Structure 1
């Protein structure tokens, strides 16, 4: 391989002539001030890189201007921020100045005036010195160990670019360049290290390696040195492309393809001293090479210059942008001359994206297009979020081709479409999998009124930073009373919706009246969380629920469907009408949630059934409601994913107690002290997901639902029956008030059944047993305390493990519902058996709040909220009312603190006990220059430093075990501004997003 030698710069260069006393043992001392340990944080998914943090290496190539060379994948093409640590442990903020569109190298900048106590010198780039067998050293931060020195020698100099795919996941790939190979056994942290010879000159750049062998891959420095000359002048290196990929083959392989050496030499090829030729491997459709070059073409010359390596090809392409290149190629046993236009490669790298919630939309890059061999067309979907583009509808290899039947060839076209779309307005999104364009889908979605952020980000070529501004599209909807939207059709008048619903009602008249009413009352629910909360993350959930009062718009559903209180919920009636709903209440003890929709959005007469008041609540009140008895005949109207609704007549086969539905490792909702029923034959219907249980006269007696799944146990819990009597206290309160009824109180213990046969050892007598049987004839057990969830002060009365509860507030305890929950009252008067003696206690009840969270604060990457019941149950002590259970990857908190499921007790030395305290401190810590910085980046103003708006802050926290920790983080108010979601006290109040 021939190389082009360029004269070195006049900048400070580390170079020493060899003498008899010089050797490898002194090399580390000479280079240590030139090596920079780089800590990179990528807060957003973008193009080929995912959010997260990593450590790598860079080295100084210009000390006067503060230019550091490293890898492209270290910088990442999207928003990122970086910190460099020098040998004396001084930290400097690095500016992500430039990354090559294709090759794996990038340049950072720092302000030389910020360095104290160290005088760095530049390592000279010497690509011309690379040769097979050259002894080299890789000096960097291997495995993040400072100044590791690995030895080896250059072996293969004409290796094609490596493939970095991991387990089928698509990631960055280099192309149209040689790579060097060496067995240096370097690992993570070495990326960006200089590969130096004995004179201390860099002959290559560490880029990657194989995890299963000692092989490592180095990037040649020819195009790096070319780009550095432009960077020093403050210019962007020209980079040309034909949207084609070439690969290198040896001369023997070329001869197998019919190319004789003598004929190639006559056509202008250079054979002597070379190892092979270039061949066309891939051409993008609709690109400049499409129809000119062909797959398998062997390149002989370009513009009459012999091409036998990638360096010569790159030189010609980079100098021919906007013009054409004349190629002489060997094709099908003959030589052909073709002319190919050269485009600007920078134009095919996305430098703008639209962020809607957690979703990031940007132009399809040339990397992804070449990987999948598809034209550069469409808008790629990146990031994780379910608010606007649900995860289940598409994955991150999908490209949006059209919205509302309007083509979206690029991001600008997509934003033009969204300018005409209002929030909550249904749009059709046409997506294709760019790995297989036959895999396409069209789905309907809408953007809710509240999202975390809707911004347009643009990269500044002058600095490498990204500026942002509000997106003017997706305007708020006009709030008018109108019928709900038609769910399945893209366009339908209100009258068409009304007619369709009335036709469906007429078709139901042949059924029994109560079955028809229940059929109308079963609705489909779609829940998409805005952010993590209450131990639940961003996953989209769908399922069914039951309307319990159409006049008030109240729905009950399994908690497994709506578990996150920040969920954006839509409800579909009969597959026809769709309307938004709010999370009215999440029961803290039982696996049911309650939703509220606006009944005025439903046209009069379409949903005229009323269940509560005539079918659910007994005439003599809530207390008269009885649970289903074993052997009682019931009718279950199942909702299935395949067959729709199915009717099953059966009997209650048994009852059992659920003690816990989650392990100690996860912090989603944990249910206990609940008795459920099962039906004869189990769930024999086709894939049931929900069931409404009624008796022969149509009275709703319960729900047949699935229990929430444990995050660490994928076993399905099956469906169980929940008595409607357990839900009535909350239903009646929701119907009687607009305020959230945080009225559930407990004794902070868990119970289990203790058979009469064993109870004698605990001091129970036959008289005690007879009292229980008189209340419930089928009962054959007492309720015994098995666990104390929260230890109370010694002076406060409390139940103990082993206590048998006989009566509560004067009523005999015969079933779990008698003692599990209390609705009102600060204490409960109990009669118990403790250590063989019957005694009376007045035990204070504890409120169960937190599962109806009304506020979430996001700061430095961590989500803060008041501790919910599951956390309180597992915590040794509750150190504050500010709980952190989740943080995002690629954020300051993830990189600096890394502790979750903790109580935050102080921030920046200021004590924090409530969310109000946290918000007040966060506002005080907000950088005063954040807005000015964003405006300067948008104006392409240059910065001498890589410092971004933010502060170094300590965070004190207490783990659930009581262990105290203090960590230091660096906030970033530019890419990760603090915000909060708040919601009012009423059940119909919407969430409000606010930047702090």
Structure 2
């Protein structure tokens, strides 16, 4: 069948056909991506310090060269941040160069970085991507090229769907007062800062973020970016003005519901589909100018119904001057005049390091998010001192020791009056709870954390290429301190006399409880560094005074988790005195802290708990605890530690501690028997158990254990006998104590006889040794060293020095006073006799030296690490600090350092000797191995400006901070 078409229609149809062919050919146009790919770089950023709501750490993103001649890269502001950073850009030929911030926009999500092209040896020409904001239109096909999901180069396609989207809202930093473009390109982490390209290879927008619930991606328009780039090329910083008003675009249908007059709507629709409306008023100045809901009609003498870019240009050109604005409020026109402030001045350019934390002024972003007043000092990171005092991060400090602190200068002046170890009150509120003022007490620490004040030094212009690219553009100085402030040992005496009676009232129902209660106290411990595998920073438990003359207090090792930290002892919630850790048992769950007893009057001070003496122990070879014992538990209430509690219990079972090693090796108690009772004890911080004789026979101690099932840490309380504690206290003056040095577990004699073929004669000897126990001990946890080389896992320990041993206490009694013992073992169906050098228990708090280098926390392998296997070296990395070179280079914790720049290191002295000669900003090669012996090679670049080298050494009963 043939159809005839009139000539006029034929022309029309032909026109359509031609148009379709043109469109088809246009879509077939080749995308010019290969030309611009060398201009796109992968950016790695190390955020050296927490700043303005963001934490320290590292991230990666995308950027692209916008000026190859001057070495300028465009990326997102949320990538660069406002605090100190170290950043590197990797080009497509895998050549790396340091970059430093040239311009950060105070509000919009873009920043300019600069690099020194002379430091790139293998790139002859630097292609750049042209900015073409005017090319953005609805329906434009785009490509987003960048480091999406860390894949170095990813090309995502999309079509621009909107040009007038309000700025997206995130959890942290938010852009305001600008339109955003959007498309369904499904960008994700790592693609921040990617160029949004048209088919000509021009950037029409800057990728900024996306939705986690859909494929929507959000792009920043490039109008303001182009103005900032032009200013940077001229060696100037773009002026940015603000009225401290957040505007939001609303369409006419929304405006009509808000009371927009019909005449205004008619005029608006001739030009656009909506108006800018006041969304938030930040601060009292802006509140006098406009109100929330006001619709913007005109700014200065510009065109009516301005859009975001027109409003921005009007304010930027009037910084420091007044501007007239006209708004419509409830259908009526209102005119007002306001002063345009410098938006750059509202971004913090200084910060203070105080007590391990980071403080700075309240930024415009924080003020806007929390609807805060401008006055106060923002806590970007609480650090050791503030966190220990109960002042959290993201708080605002309003006063220090009753001195108001509206600015950093005021805070610096207030802290200058406080000496090391002084107590000071601090007033603050949380950003999310501004009307709830709180008061806390902090303990000043200058010996570990000398206060520093840092100031950002921006480059004068883009032409200063020789500004230090390898270091952040920040300078520091020490903050003043009292002239009489002596930084050294821990002050054991409070600054004011103690007159309050520091013991609990004896109001319990039993005389046994009343006799012991005055010996109880609360022990608090704050961890300085995460050494020894610790899992938290602040701990509290119940202590018992074991020697009031010396001021010795025993507490479990889930309270004193490591040696490096600050301890305090509180008596009856009335008197708190500083203390220091003087002893931590390597295998048993107790440590000793010491306070100065002279600060308490003899008549009113706490009394020594009534423990059984060592002589009594030798006369009575009974166990600490036996089934059927009627005891009284006396402890401190968990919810209200100012109250003591007591409870009668009966021992129903004798068990033993069996704690598996955690993923991160840390202390676990071994060779301890525990008692179980006929009822559940009240929730407490811990306490003691008292016999009918009125003597303390056990402590109610807290144990920490790790669950491999859900990879979480848990706590449990158990009653453990005090004989091991008495061994230590009774020898305190002339300390000489030994232990067997490895872990043991209990095995039923029936299992030993049938499965391990133990001879009947030995079964009979063990039963005669303890008629009420039908058990034998087996070697279970060997610490790999020379002392235990003759002992193997699974050996049955039958006797020591000719005496049968069936309980943990048998072993301790046989080894505590001897440097060498003869062990009788059952191995491979035969009796073996070996001589063992016992392990000496030192009168020390445990780890006594920590080296901090480039953010690595290095120490000797502690016992828990030795239980994992033989160490490859004595330089063990227990942790790393975020924001440090170690963190930036992805160095891991729980590793041994084998080599530094090809030089073997066997101990901490070797390590210090090697690294001491390494200059700043130098790449260092490290060879490490994990706990299984798998070796890995890493590199890091030193940064002694922000991460100076030092070590913490325990000498003469105190910790010293030493630089190297």
Does the Cα contact within 8 Å between 2:62 and 2:75 map onto a contact in 1?
yes
- Could you tell me which of 774, 777, 780 is aligned with 1:780? 774
Classify the secondary structure of the residue corresponding to 2:286. coil
Q: Which residue number corresponds to residue 198 of structure 1?
A: 199
Cα gap change, 1:396/1:897 in structure 2, threshold over 3 Å: closer, same or farther?
closer
Q: Does 1:97 align with 2:102?
A: yes
Cα gap change, 1:799/1:910 in structure 2, threshold over 3 Å: closer, same or farther?
closer
Q: Which residue number corresponds to residue 180 of structure 2?
A: 179
Cα gap change, 1:473/1:313 in structure 2, threshold over 3 Å: closer, same or farther?
farther
Structure showing greater relative contact order (alpha-carbon pairs closer than 8 Å, 6 or more residues apart): 1
RMSD: 3.0
Does the Cα contact within 8 Å between 1:616 and 1:701 map onto a contact in 2?
no
**Residue deviations 1:762-797 (CA, integer Å, cap 9, x gap):** 344554344334433321222234565648799x53
CA distance in 2, matches of 1:236, 1:761: 82
CA distance in 1, matches of 2:79, 2:676: 56
Shift of residue 912, structure 1, vs aligned partner: 0.7
CA distance in 1, matches of 2:743, 2:512: 40
- Could you tell me which of 857, 860, 865 is aligned with 2:854? 860
**Residue deviations 1:614-667 (CA, integer Å, cap 9, x gap):** 75444676996852222223222111123510122333222101122x444131
Shift of residue 126, structure 1, vs aligned partner: 2.1
Cα gap change, 1:45/1:547 in structure 2, threshold over 3 Å: closer, same or farther?
same
CA distance in 1, matches of 2:437, 2:424: 17
Cα gap change, 1:236/1:715 in structure 2, threshold over 3 Å: closer, same or farther?
closer
Matches within 5 A, 1:677-696: 677-683=675-681, 685=682, 687-696=683-692
Classify the secondary structure of the residue corresponding to 1:727. helix
Classify the secondary structure of the residue corresponding to 2:98. strand
Q: Which residue number corresponds to residue 56 of structure 1?
A: 61
- Could you tell me which of 111, 131, 151 is aligned with 1:145? 151
CA distance in 1, matches of 2:524, 2:623: 32
Matches within 5 A, 1:211-290: 211-260=212-261, 262-263=263-264, 271-286=269-284, 288-290=285-287
Shift of residue 33, structure 1, vs aligned partner: 2.7
Q: Does 1:707 align with 2:703?
A: yes
Q: Does 1:33 align with 2:55?
A: no
Shift of residue 326, structure 1, vs aligned partner: 1.2
Classify the secondary structure of the residue corresponding to 1:925. coil
Does the Cα contact within 8 Å between 2:268 and 2:275 map onto a contact in 1?
no
- Could you tell me which of 470, 480, 484 is aligned with 1:472? 480
CA distance in 1, matches of 2:122, 2:491: 71
Matches within 5 A, 1:783-822: 783-786=777-780, 790=784, 797-801=790-794, 803-819=795-811, 822=815
CA distance in 1, matches of 2:459, 2:212: 37
Does the Cα contact within 8 Å between 2:64 and 2:74 map onto a contact in 1?
yes
Q: Does 1:76 align with 2:81?
A: yes
Q: Which residue number corresponds to residue 293 of structure 2?
A: 296
Matches within 5 A, 1:710-725: 710=706, 713-714=711-712, 716-725=714-723
Shift of residue 747, structure 1, vs aligned partner: 4.8
Shift of residue 824, structure 1, vs aligned partner: 5.2
Shift of residue 295, structure 1, vs aligned partner: 0.6
CA distance in 2, matches of 1:790, 1:478: 40
Does the Cα contact within 8 Å between 2:860 and 2:908 map onto a contact in 1?
yes
Q: Which residue number corresponds to residue 881 of structure 2?
A: 888
Name the stretch that deviates more: 547-556 or 373-382. Answer: 373-382
Does the Cα contact within 8 Å between 1:41 and 1:890 map onto a contact in 2?
yes
Q: Does 1:830 align with 2:801?
A: no
- Could you tell me which of 429, 451, 455 is aligned with 2:452? 455
CA distance in 2, matches of 1:78, 1:23: 46
Q: Which residue number corresponds to residue 652 of structure 1?
A: 651
Shift of residue 485, structure 1, vs aligned partner: 4.0
CA distance in 2, matches of 1:278, 1:381: 34
Shift of residue 81, structure 1, vs aligned partner: 0.5
Q: Does 1:125 align with 2:131?
A: yes
Shift of residue 566, structure 1, vs aligned partner: 0.5
Does the Cα contact within 8 Å between 1:59 and 1:194 map onto a contact in 2?
yes
Classify the secondary structure of the residue corresponding to 2:731. helix
Shift of residue 867, structure 1, vs aligned partner: 0.3
Does the Cα contact within 8 Å between 2:545 and 2:606 map onto a contact in 1?
no
Q: Which residue number corresponds to residue 435 of structure 1?
A: 432
Cα gap change, 1:715/1:922 in structure 2, threshold over 3 Å: closer, same or farther?
closer
- Could you tell me which of 969, 972, 988 is aligned with 2:940? 969
CA distance in 1, matches of 2:509, 2:926: 63
What is the TM-score normalised by the length of structure 1? 0.87
Does the Cα contact within 8 Å between 2:389 and 2:440 map onto a contact in 1?
no
Aligned length: 921
Does the Cα contact within 8 Å between 1:449 and 1:477 map onto a contact in 2?
no
Q: Which residue number corresponds to residue 993 of structure 1?
A: 961
Q: Which residue number corresponds to residue 932 of structure 1?
A: none
Shift of residue 508, structure 1, vs aligned partner: 4.8
CA distance in 1, matches of 2:490, 2:281: 55
CA distance in 2, matches of 1:646, 1:277: 67
Q: Which residue number corresponds to residue 748 of structure 1?
A: 742
Cα gap change, 1:907/1:824 in structure 2, threshold over 3 Å: closer, same or farther?
farther
Unaligned runs of 5+ in 1: 1-19, 166-170, 487-492, 928-949
Matches within 5 A, 1:233-632: 233-260=234-261, 262-263=263-264, 271-286=269-284, 288-305=285-302, 306-383=304-381, 385=383, 387-390=384-387, 393-462=390-459, 465-473=473-481, 476=485, 484-485=493-494, 494=497, 497-498=498-499, 500-501=500-501, 508=506, 515-516=513-514, 518-537=516-535, 539-607=537-605, 609-611=607-609, 615-618=612-615, 626-632=623-629
Does the Cα contact within 8 Å between 1:908 and 1:955 map onto a contact in 2?
yes
**Residue deviations 1:252-281 (CA, integer Å, cap 9, x gap):** 22222222453367xxx6543423110001
Does the Cα contact within 8 Å between 1:49 and 1:77 map onto a contact in 2?
no
**Residue deviations 1:587-636 (CA, integer Å, cap 9, x gap):** 11111111122223334433263447x75444676996852222223222
Does the Cα contact within 8 Å between 1:634 and 1:695 map onto a contact in 2?
yes
What is the TM-score normalised by the length of structure 2? 0.90
CA distance in 2, matches of 1:395, 1:523: 26
Cα gap change, 1:957/1:474 in structure 2, threshold over 3 Å: closer, same or farther?
farther
Does the Cα contact within 8 Å between 1:448 and 1:568 map onto a contact in 2?
no
Cα gap change, 1:754/1:82 in structure 2, threshold over 3 Å: closer, same or farther?
same
Cα gap change, 1:581/1:711 in structure 2, threshold over 3 Å: closer, same or farther?
farther
Q: Which residue number corresponds to residue 109 of structure 1?
A: 114
Classify the secondary structure of the residue corresponding to 1:955. strand
Classify the secondary structure of the residue corresponding to 2:387. coil
Does the Cα contact within 8 Å between 1:137 and 1:195 map onto a contact in 2?
yes
Cα gap change, 1:82/1:623 in structure 2, threshold over 3 Å: closer, same or farther?
farther
Q: Which residue number corresponds to residue 765 of structure 2?
A: 771
Does the Cα contact within 8 Å between 1:666 and 1:710 map onto a contact in 2?
no
Shift of residue 220, structure 1, vs aligned partner: 0.8
Shift of residue 863, structure 1, vs aligned partner: 1.1
CA distance in 1, matches of 2:451, 2:849: 20
CA distance in 1, matches of 2:831, 2:707: 42
Q: Which residue number corresponds to residue 901 of structure 1?
A: 894
CA distance in 2, matches of 1:621, 1:736: 19
CA distance in 2, matches of 1:646, 1:509: 10
**Residue deviations 1:405-426 (CA, integer Å, cap 9, x gap):** 3322222222221111222222
CA distance in 1, matches of 2:352, 2:606: 43
Classify the secondary structure of the residue corresponding to 1:707. strand
CA distance in 2, matches of 1:787, 1:854: 24
Unaligned runs of 5+ in 2: 1-24, 461-471
